Every structure is written in C-alpha cells, then in structure tokens.
Amino acid sequence: MEPEIEIFREHLGKKGLRNTKERDAIVREISAFHDHFDVDQLYLLIKKKKGVSKASIYRTIPLLIEAGLITEVYLEDGHMHYERTLGRDHHCHLRCNQCRTIIEFSDPRLQEIEREVAQKVGFVPDGHKLEITGLCPQCAALDKRRPGA
C-alpha cells in the first residue's frame, strides 16, 4: 500500500474521522500527479475510474493539507492549485510572468533564513514558500528580439 494511504488513515484516526473508499481513491490518484494539479484535473481523473463527486474532493482537500500530503500553490489564474508533498524535496517556484511556466528550485539557505527570521520576532515557524517572478529563459529571449514590448 502506498505510504500516502497509511499516513492519511492515521491522520483520520487521530481526528476521529472515518476511512472511506472515496478518500482512498482521492489519495491514490493524488500520488499519480508528478507536478501541480487543481480540483478539476483531480476530479476528471477520479470520476473516470471511481465516480467520486467534486464535493467530496473539496471536502477532502483540507484534510490532505493537514495530513501533510499536499500544499496549496498560488498560480494567479483564478483558482487554487496543489502539489504533492510526500517524497519530494522542499522547493520553491520561479514563475514566468509571460508564459506562466513554473520552474522549481531549492536553496538550503532558505531553511536557515526561516529559522532565524522567525526566532527574531518570536514566531514558531512550520514552513515557508518562496516565489520568484520574472521571465523564463524562452520568454526573455523572445523579449530581446522585439525591444518595443
């Protein structure tokens, strides 16, 4: 069994909630995404196989976040996106303002900054998100060719 399933069941148990085949299906399909996804993508994938409703997906997402299996990703296109957390290195995002591509990266100094800054203001940190915006290599190259933009 996927480790996600076990982790999620344990989380449900701790909260006095129940395990269901719908929740199993949702957790299983999330593992299939290797990058970002949104509710609609997840719904289409699950509906085909199992017939889980969108309402159940929306109701399950907060639980998945609490369990540490996914995190929210802001992509500035009007609705929420998510990404799998388990088994992936912590990383941050470079987002292209033009083509919206996301490039992932990680830098060990960020953990340090998180800890130090939090300590300075008496904050107990549990994570951070860094997003760098600008132009990806492709769009930057195109921009150079037509300087009037």
Partner DNA sequence: GTATCTGCAAACCCTTTGCAATAAG
Partner DNA sequence: CTTATTGCAAAGGGTTTGCAGATAC
The footprint of DNA (CB under 7 A) covers 12, 16-23, 38-40, 51-56, 58-61, 78-80
Q: How many residues bind a second copy (CB under 8 A)?
A: 35
3-state secondary structure of 69: coil
Identify which of 23, 57, 56, 8 has the alpha carbon closest to the alpha carbon of residue 37.
Answer: 57
52 interface partner picked from a second copy, DNA, none, CB below 5 to 8 A per type: DNA
Scan residues 83-102 and list those touching a second copy (CB under 8 A). 94, 96-97
Least Å from the CB of residue 58 to DNA: 4
114 binds a second copy (CB under 8 A): yes
The amino acid at residue 98 is Q
Interface residue with a second copy, options 51, 87, 122, 148 (CB under 8 A): 122
Distance between CA atoms of residues 86 and 128, nearest Å:
16
The amino acid at residue 96 is C
Least Å from the CB of residue 54 to DNA: 6
Least Å from the CB of residue 114 to DNA: 26
146 interface partner picked from DNA, a second copy, none, CB below 5 to 8 A per type: none
φ/ψ of 121, rounded to 5, equals -105, 10
Q: How far is CA 107 from CA 33, 104, 112, 113, 137, in A?
A: 24, 10, 10, 11, 20
Distance between CA atoms of residues 33 and 72, nearest Å:
14
Residue at token pair 């289409």: 44
The residues of the shown chain that bind a second copy, judged by CB under 8 A, are: 72, 74, 76, 94, 96-97, 103, 105, 107, 109-110, 113-114, 116-118, 120-137, 140
